Amino acid sequence: MPTHEITAAAAGSWTLGDRTVRRMGFGTMRITAAPDADRAIRVLRRAVELGVDHLDTAAFYVSPGGTLNVGSGPARYAPELIRAALAPYSDDLFIATKVGFAYDPATGLREETSPAGLRAQVEENLRRLGRDHLDLVNLRIVKRPGRDSVAESFAALAALRDAGLIRHLGLSNVRLDHLDEAQAIAPVVCVQNSYALDNRGDQDALLRECGARGIAYVPFFALAGARREAGAAAEHPAAVHAVARAHGATPHQVRLAWTLHQGPHVLAIPGTGDPEHVAQNVAAGALRLTAGELAALG
Ligand SMILES: NC(=O)c1ccc[n+]([C@@H]2O[C@H](COP(=O)([O-])OP(=O)(O)OC[C@H]3O[C@@H](n4cnc5c(N)ncnc54)[C@H](OP(=O)(O)O)[C@@H]3O)[C@@H](O)[C@H]2O)c1
């Protein structure tokens, strides 16, 4: 499908708390893997030029040595690249970030952050982004048997929200019982979980419940699916190829369109380090799938 002149507005909008964002956003995890900072900056500016106003980031998106252990040279933090590309920030830009674990490059393990340690992670995000508040902070949990409550950590973030450091709160990598616990403490505007056309896991019920509660559901790895950090596969289910051919679209665009068709509260945050892919992903917001196509996709 042609990508020219299609902006993120084509995907429609959703309201997160008191802010309205376009449903086609941009995930910044992969910009740290760009061969140089200039390219990462170009990718971010391209997304915003195309009308993207919802960015997802984290201070632990750093390369080399961070969650994406690739590249070489000096550390590049995604929030610092965002600042270099986009500060001074437009009032329209909504930047979501996440806290809750620290990545240990030596062991490759994610160590859960204590409730008391969350403030330092929030402050690190503020510092690296160069902002005095964060639009949205997701509590990203590391599920561990026997240590499964989000209450204490979510209450710590709610206190930082009350102190004015954070405007809105969300949850990531959670189940419905975590959402119930958190909502008893403070408003939750989004749930960010791993979900893709061919990697739905047990997420369908939670996705629907978020819609019923007026909460955004924000899938990560919508393109990468089960390959996760390894990135998008070259192979896709046959139905994806068939729908792509019918629309003159790429399989990746069909995957993103399918994501957006899962409900008006579903927001896309595809990640890429390639400016051309940014434009293709934004254009996927204009792709309208028929009921028959959605059934075939599954
Ligand atoms: N809450 C959490 O725990 C969590 C975990 C992981 C990620 N996230 C967030 O979710 C976002 C999305 O995840 P992600 O970036 O890992 O995965 P993704 O969006 O599912 O897929 C990214 C992969 O797709 C490729 N790609 C993107 N657009 C493409 C296109 N138009 N055509 C062909 N290939 C394309 C990328 O390669 P190229 O770079 O070559 O385009 C990369 O390999 C992240 O950026 C991050 O903000 C959150």
Model confidence at 106, pLDDT cuts 50, 70, 90, reads: low
Question: Hey, which residues are catalytic here?
Answer: 61
Model confidence at 230, pLDDT cuts 50, 70, 90, reads: confident
Of 119, 129, 142, whose CA–CA distance to 93 is shortest? 129
CB-CB contact of 99 with 122 (8 Å): yes
Kind and range of the H or E run holding 22: strand 19-22
Of 181, 128, 191, 189, whose CA–CA distance to 161 is shortest? 189
| Average pLDDT across the chain, whole number | 93
Q: Whose CA is nearest to atom 34 of ligand 1?
A: 232
Specify the DSSP class assigned to residue 38. H
Model confidence at 2, pLDDT cuts 50, 70, 90, reads: low
Q: What percent of the chain is modeled with pLDDT above 70?
A: 93
Model confidence at 109, pLDDT cuts 50, 70, 90, reads: confident
Question: 8-297 sits in which CATH class?
Answer: alpha beta
Distances (CA, A) of 40 to 13, 56, 83, 107: 26, 14, 11, 27
Strands (E), 164-277: 166-172, 190-192, 216-217
Give the residue extent of every domain in the chain: 8-297
User: Can you give the pTM of this predicted structure?
Assistant: 0.96
Q: Whose CA is nearest to atom 42 of ligand 1?
A: 231
- pLDDT score, position 168: 98
Mutation to probe ligand 1, out of 52, 125, 272 (largest number of atoms < 8 A from CB): 272
Evaluate: CB of 231 within 6 angstroms of ligand 1. Answer: yes
Instruction: Give residue 269 CA to ligand 1 midpoint distance, Å.
Output: 8
Q: Is the pLDDT of residue 8 over 60?
A: yes
Q: What percent of the chain is modeled with pLDDT above 90?
A: 81
Q: Is the pLDDT of residue 116 over 80?
A: yes
Mutation to probe ligand 1, out of 26, 29, 103 (largest number of atoms < 8 A from CB): 29
- pLDDT score, position 69: 45
Of 30, 28, 120, 121, whose CA–CA distance to 83 is shortest? 28
What is the four-CA torsion angle of 218, 222, 227, 229, rounded to 10 degrees? -50
Task: Average the pLDDT over 182-202 and give the result.
Answer: 97
* pLDDT, tens digit (0-9, with 9 covering 90-100), for 260-289: 999 999 999 999 999 999 999 999 999 999
CB-CB contact of 97 with 138 (8 Å): yes
- pLDDT score, position 297: 96
* pLDDT, tens digit (0-9, with 9 covering 90-100), for 38-80: 999 999 999 999 999 999 999 989 886 555 544 556 678 999 9
Residue 23 CA to residue 269 CA, distance in Å, equals: 8
